[in-house]
Chains A and B, each alone.
Chain A
């Protein structure tokens, strides 16, 4: 690199340094700690020892790890890729055709869940699905008995809660993307006799392909990291039926004080995020239609 280019980097150096110190350093430390027996208490807290891959070996022989990985994948696929993404797209599409007042009201209602801080949204969802909660009270009005949702269907409850909370983001992304779709292309297709679903499948979706990939990447990474919502609603229970990887990492590191093992789980979570990220980045790079 010639000196002038180096000089040009100078103004962003503080930003890069801050990123390195506050984002990369914890990740590196987490990877490092996952190869030690670091703990919150006991001898290993004073003097952590290098244990090689022992934490990872234990992880793959432990039943709760594959289960947590599976639950994480189901949670992400159902609440982000299917729930938030499709629902957001559907609402955005409907809003382009509805009257302004309707679309304003719907938009406000959907965004309301997004505006709530995560802890408030989590308590709201808990209060809704709880045994004596809103859902069961509504069902009682209709004359049917509700179940103990958080106990009988913990995963379904947190998937619905996360879909409710996150749909607004996808909706906003798709509304912006749809607004950019040139009207004349659609109209030309209409003149050629394309039906509604054909215009959607062959014109609109290919045109907003980039937004879809970006949206999927963002909501996937965000959903992979969801912790507060699950912790407040079910705390990973009953019997680990809703223990996703972030919850597992928290339990191991802070409830059992086994920081080495907890960071090993966290490291796997980071890798999983990188795999998802890489796939979407590839999608983004592929040729445009």
Chain B
């Protein structure tokens, strides 16, 4: 401390003090002027947030078209497109983080149907009823589609872009080589195993029938694998009437046991491959086109990867591939089972321009744009006028097959607890395919996890 005394006379401290005061003042002015800037701007800007990946550009092109259309019709309004490059999980997180603050929340955004209810609870979504009443096109949406955006209070908060179903996709050439007649339609789980064993016997280098499992593939593990099994046993994940989660069902154990059989008999990929988050890319990009995979469960959007301009272009997919409905466990009614999801567009609750934002949403979902999106992304149309378009029906040879599955489809429970329950299911499948636990033990652990997550009063013992 001693040298300080001789440093400089006290008088010169004053300019230093003033400089510091100026610096602080400058920082404060900078901060406040930043926050007032948007008010000063004359032109209105709409911020649009949606997902875009190397394998998913269909929405981006629709948004580009809608932007041009909208800006031409509304002079003085600027549309600011902000695509987020991320997978579904990370997109949801980024969107939710942006919505937490008024300043970063988007005006219009792409929203997963199963998050609508919990995001309405969070106050992120604008109620659209008064705008929909004035929108002529709303009557063109099917009833099921309208329900996709409905929250617990009965109001509509989101408008769907399209929906999807899930089915068995199989390579006809591979099945025929193993002596299996096509078209092939299994009537029970046993039929699937019989086919797979036959394919394996014919050529052991082919993967006969794989189903996703483990945490790596995330929602894919449940939507394109486990739920087809579970809902085909007559059991369910969540009792919608009693609003309780089902535990201790035989169907749950049976479903795990089926996965165990597939992986133990090496009818599926190796557990190490199954746990790789990128395994689906190999399914679409390598194994099916190269004839190394006989069959798997995948979404109705599969052709969007293979068609011209898709991420894994494959000219022969229309001839080589075929669709079969996923059968119920023992062929019980209704004979087959499917799962549906789908995405919507919604308006931010805190938007400065609700009317304009809804107008943009309506533009992006008009007949022309909806048709382009449904065709490019191999979606099942939710607008009746799009569904009747010849161009839509001819988009790929499988449109009718996968659309018919809407009759037997199921939806995920759209509650705030769901993401954790889904992970618990993924953990259960991972424990079984890696041989860490038997189906019984794994199901018991799932039950214990669910009890811990949602509490005893929200559990239904079967």
Interface set of A (CB-CB < 8 Å, partner B): 4, 7-8, 10-11, 13-14, 17, 39-46, 131, 148, 151-152, 235, 237-239, 254-258
Contacts and interface: CB of A to CB of B under 8 A. Distances in A.
Contacts of A10: 13, 16-17, 20
B89 interface: yes
A11 B19 CA distance: 9
A11 B20 contact: yes
Interface in B383-414: none
A64 B216 CA distance: 17
B419 A237 contact: no
A63 to B, nearest CB: 10
B431 A43 contact: no
B277 interface: yes
A239 B420 contact: no
A238 B271 CA distance: 10
Contacts of B13: 7, 10
Contacts of A8: 4
B359 interface: no
B23 interface: yes
B430 interface: yes
A42 B277 contact: no
Contact of B97 (A4, A40, A42): A40
Contacts of B123: 45-46
B20 A257 contact: no
A43 B121 contact: yes
Contacts of A43: 121-122, 416
Closest 9 CB pairs of A and B: A45-B122, A42-B416, A151-B272, A40-B96, A46-B123, A42-B118, A148-B272, A41-B118, A43-B121
A54 B436 CA distance: 31
A131 B269 CA distance: 14
B23 A14 contact: yes
A238 B436 CA distance: 11
Given A10-B17, A14-B23, A255 B89 contact: yes
A234 B276 CA distance: 9
Interface residues of B, number: 39
Contacts, number: 88
Contacts of B96: 40-41, 45, 257
A239 B431 contact: yes
Given A41-B416, A44-B122, A238-B430, 20 more contacts: A10-B20, A11-B20, A13-B20, A14-B24, A39-B416, A40-B100, A42-B121, A131-B272, A131-B273, A151-B272, A235-B216, A237-B275, A238-B214, A238-B215, A238-B216, A239-B215, A239-B427, A239-B434, A255-B89, A255-B423
A11 B123 CA distance: 45
A235 B214 CA distance: 13
Contacts of A152: 272
Given A7-B17, A255-B419, A45 B100 contact: yes
B264 interface: no
B419 A256 contact: yes
Interface in B94-125: 96-97, 100, 115, 118-119, 121-124
B10 interface: yes
Nearest to B90: A254
A148 B100 CA distance: 41
A237 B13 CA distance: 59
A237 B123 CA distance: 34
Nearest to B215: A237
B82 interface: no
Contacts of B352: none
A255 B275 contact: no
Interface in B347-391: none
A46 B121 contact: yes
B85 interface: no
A240 B299 CA distance: 28
Nearest to B270: A148
Given A148-B272, A237-B215, A14 B20 contact: yes
B214 to A, nearest CB: 7
B93 interface: yes
Contacts of A41: 96, 115, 118-119, 121-122, 124, 416
